[in-house]
Structure 1
Amino acid sequence: MAEPVSNRAREKSPSSQLTVGPNRFWFLANGAVARPRTAAVLAALVLALIATLVGPMGTVQSARANDGNPMFRVGQDFGYDYIEFINDIRRRVNDGQTGQVPGAGSTYMVQHTNPNSVSSYLQVDIQMWGSSHFVRLQLRRSDLYVLGWWDRNNNYRYLGSRTVTRTSAEAQRMENGENRPPDNAFRASFQEDYPSLETAAHERRANMPISRDSISAAAWYLYDSDNTQNMARGVLRMIQFVAEATRFRPLRDSISTVIGTNGIYSIPPQIAAQENQWGRLSGRFNWLLGFPQGYRDPHPLTAYRRDAYGSAVVIVLYTAIQYARYILGTSKGRN
């Protein structure tokens, strides 16, 4: 019998958290027209704020995690922060060569993973809404697979049939500049493939709701790691929020429209199904890059882009430029 889903309260917004964040520059705008005394008070507040951000020698303290990982703070960060969070991951997994696509422009670069980096990892932090706690995910650079995560008790929990121990390279992480090995390493009872994850989670990717609430809940599920169904649900959501959004431009852009608001994005079934075609789409895109700019594929593939409302719209992909503008954020390898 399936275990009950716990922590349901975390699916709702904390009552102490602002549901819509204030404009972070409102005090500067108001200060420009404030009366002298008010302006002086505002100036003092600004100086105090600067003092908290600047160290003893004038060095700005990092607002990110101490270990320099890509980090997203649910409930604090906005849509453009999410775009930069995903772009940071794209840059870090890139194979070191150019991501420029001739004719697509600098806005539509496509990064390429290095298929040989099977033993190279990237850690990503997701901070929960209204809390200083965060869960750390372990990604494989070669294909952006979510391999595992560290729970609140410093256990490394991993997916798949391989064996990982507390001394394995995959299970290591830096904390405050020093290596911190896990106390234990545990294999999850579910596998890493989507059918296994969806069965254990009792949730499907198609029409999955993505919001601040659902992503914060997913982070808590993994951090607590006290319920099999919750853990599977947390992994499934984080794969969408991090890995698939790094691979696919439509998912990244759609999530960015709701993650800083009270909105909900339900993943269209076509977009969810397209995730299984990342290797095929990457292969055709990489092949097209070997031809002159604008070369048209005589046997084009079809895919799904997003429209202005986040709905899935079919597109016939004739050129590498179309792949860059509408489909891929990161390609699997390169030719």
Structure 2
Amino acid sequence: MKRFAIEEPLLDLNMYLGEGCVWDTETQRLYFVDIELNNVFVYEPKSDRWGYSHFEKKVTAIALLQEQEGLIAAIEDGFALIPPSSLPRPLLRRDQSMGAQDSLRPAEQSYDVLCVSGGSGPGPSPITLQSGEARMNEGAVDPAGRFIAGTMVNSFGSYAGRMYSLQRSPRGNQWEAPLVLDGITVTNGMAWTEDGKKMYFTDSHRKEIVIFDYDVERGTMSNRKIFSNIDTPEYGYPDGLCLDSEGGVWTARWSSGKVIRLNPQTAEIDVEIDLPKAWNATCVIFGGANMDELFITTARCSQGGDHPEPHYTEQGKLYHIKDIGFTGVERNRFKSQ
């Protein structure tokens, strides 16, 4: 097993629940979110600058658009398009705090809430959360350009979470989001194999990463199999997920301060990245000019009564590592037109 450690954060952003990393190969920028504080961040390595946009509601997951600038987003109770004018811009030096942006750009930005059909009720409407669901959580784009996103439950032991597939309706200039999966605890990391025939999905409270057969044409999952169900305190709960160019599965581990790589054939751990000062690793993505660098978000909040040891002093920050011997693949982009 290869082992690495990241002692110091790249950016000290004091995020409450950092999440949702997306690397844009065209602009060479990293986007990510702080769910609980309603912020979307950007970091530009070339200029070593960062910035943020603040929104009215929680932004829980984001993805790039295929035909234009902007982001598709899961917000706390549905879906939204974030236009280019509301994207965060890299205005601040690494040593500048969030307050320094106030004089450069108004904090709160707008987005377009999407009304969908085929979701929780008849006719176009926002997604309606049901009893037992706390909010929307993670999302990712499938190989056909659909935004697959789901909810999380409001109590441990519940399986009330559901997943939707946001896409353009064939019946005209409308959106639809049919239900594609239910019985979920916490919708988390997703990714598709290079051929699009397999989909990885993380169900966090179950401590499971599963793999489905995926029908790209229909956008449906079948033949659920457990890929990994590590159940030891050392590796906590699986959270965000991405794949490398060899098909390896990289999973951020909540309540453990680690990111690990799982061999795609055996699911055995063959790389371990330790964050000695950050207990909750939440999301991991490849980026950089050659797609050979890892960016990792972390959180300073706790769940279920779990609390970190005192030595975890650098939580809620963005971490970064180079020279790990792997390259990543770009995330799919949402087909918005």
User: Common fold, TM-score beyond 0.5?
Assistant: no
Please identify which structure carries the higher helix content.
Answer: 1
- Output the TM-score relative to the length of structure 2: 0.29
Please identify which structure carries the higher strand content.
Answer: 2
- Output the TM-score relative to the length of structure 1: 0.29
Q: Which has the larger radius of gyration?
A: 1
